[in-house]
Amino acid sequence: MSKNLSWVAIALALLAGSSAQAQEAPQTAVSPTAAGSTSVSLDIAFILDVAGAWYSRTPMEVGGHDPAKTGFNFQALEMSVQSNVDPYFRFVGNLALGLDGLEIEEAYGQTLSLPWGLQIRAGQILTRMGRMNTMHPHAWSFVDQSLMIGKFLGEDGSRGLGLELSWLIPLPWYVELVASATDAAGEATARSFLGGGEWNIHGMRDFLYTVGLKQFFPFGREWSLAWGLSGQVGPNATGHRNLTSIYATDLYLRYKPTGSPGRATLSLTVEGMYRVRQVPGDSLRDWGGYASLVWQFLQRWELGGRYEFVSGLAYDPLDPQWTTGRHRGALEASFYPSHFSRLRLQGTCDVPRWQTNPIWGAVLNLELAVGTHGAHVF
């Protein structure tokens, strides 16, 4: 635990040092070239998520930051650090500090000046697989992670050390093509692939490959649509050269009336995945998805509903008890005292069909943010 506290101390020292530097800097003229070579302006933010929860019986949460027990839950303390290194690179880091350790969610360099609409990210990255996987927990509308993400990608989503290339295609509408190669192992980050097993890299077959096509369509001044197609392929842990493939599509439709005095917004999100796993002598196929509708009817108030379904399989080596389908519904109400805080009340009904009774739950979440945080994904 002392090692974890040392990381917190380092983070707080960075934040304090950044503020002190801004306050104590001498008021003398410095050329832009000299200033750029001797100082770095860091955007540092801390986001705290804690919750009180009640469940009718032991919950079956699939997310690493979900409230997983009746009582008080420390979900995460996230530290976000971002800065332009120079005219050519940007640094992005996201650390999740929990009661049981430090988790490096992302730490990568991103190019800023490649020609022809190209961009590269290198380091520890969240893959661009679907929509929810690209978001950190504080950007979710609901308190817990989607069942589909947890079962197919992992309790912390899909991420790993690797390289990503994206291309903003010069077309009349927004079109981005993304491809990445990352580690195929990680119990919490590559669950459908090599998972927590040990592996050695022998060739290009041993990586996890992700491809995605992201599009955006504005319809007038009030409607907008984002639509994505993505897929992953990589080795799994069931035998020599056995592969797992996951295919996904996601849609985000938003209505934001320009004349609304309360900044009202209505948004619909739909996301689905289909998974194919080669196992000795067989091929396992399952699927899942969710749909959510969120209505911010006033500047500080929001209501939302979500429905999820994920199928099950008999004799599944990853989830032997998940033999048939699982339904889950949730309702949430959020109050934003300011841009930097949120109170969220969520009720859930989880129906694993291989069990007799549903699991009812209620969660009250508090989220606080301090510092400067980068923009969220649309």
Q: How far is CA 286 from CA 131, 273, 276, 312, in A?
A: 19, 9, 7, 7
What pLDDT does 39 receive?
Answer: 57
| Contact call for residues 305 and 293 (beta carbons, < 8 A) | yes
Q: Of 17-21, 43-47, 265-269, 359-363, where does mean pLDDT reach its minimum?
A: 17-21
At 72, is the secondary structure helix, strand, or coil?
A: strand
What pLDDT does 135 receive?
Answer: 94
155 CB-near residues (< 8 Å, 6+ apart): 62, 63, 64, 145, 188, 191
156 CB-near residues (< 8 Å, 6+ apart): 63, 64, 103, 105, 188, 189
Average pLDDT, the chain: 89
- Of all residues in the chain, what percent carry a pLDDT higher than 90? 75
Within a domain: residue 29?
no
Q: What is the pLDDT of residues 98-122, one digit of tens each?
A: 888 888 999 999 999 999 999 999 9
At 344, is the secondary structure helix, strand, or coil?
A: strand
Within a domain: residue 125?
yes
What pLDDT does 33 receive?
Answer: 41
How large is the average pLDDT for residues 188-214? 90
Q: Can you give the pTM of this predicted structure? A: 0.88
Cα 197 from Cα 167, distance rounded (Å)? 33
pLDDT at residue 5 above 50? no
- Of all residues in the chain, what percent carry a pLDDT higher than 70? 88
Q: What is the pLDDT of residues 311-350, one digit of tens each?
A: 999 989 999 999 999 999 999 999 999 989 999 999 999 9
Within a domain: residue 159?
yes
How large is the average pLDDT for residues 175-194? 95
pLDDT at residue 374 above 80? no
What pLDDT does 375 receive?
Answer: 67
pLDDT at residue 67 above 90? yes
Could you write out the DSSP letters of every residue in 103-138?
Answer: EEEEEEEEES--STTEEEEEEEEE---SSGGGS-GG
pLDDT at residue 40 above 80? no
Domain that holds residue 215: 2-21+41-371
Q: What is the DSSP letter of 205?
A: G
What pLDDT does 258 receive?
Answer: 84
When divided into structural domains, the chain yields a total of: 1
Q: What CATH number has the domain bearing residue 110? A: 2.40.160.10
Which amino acid would we find at residue 39?
Answer: S
What pLDDT does 175 receive?
Answer: 97
How large is the average pLDDT for residues 161-167? 97
Within a domain: residue 26?
no
pLDDT at residue 199 above 80? no
How large is the average pLDDT for residues 208-227? 95
Within a domain: residue 67?
yes
Of the ranges 296-300, 306-310, 367-371, which is most confident? 306-310
How large is the average pLDDT for residues 211-224? 94
Within a domain: residue 353?
yes
pLDDT at residue 234 above 90? yes
pLDDT at residue 197 above 90? no
Within a domain: residue 241?
yes
Cα 84 from Cα 130, distance rounded (Å)? 27
Within a domain: residue 33?
no
Q: How many CB atoms lie within 10 A of CB 106?
A: 17
What pLDDT does 200 receive?
Answer: 78
* Of residues 352 and 11, more confidently modeled: 352
pLDDT at residue 252 above 90? yes
pLDDT at residue 274 above 90? yes
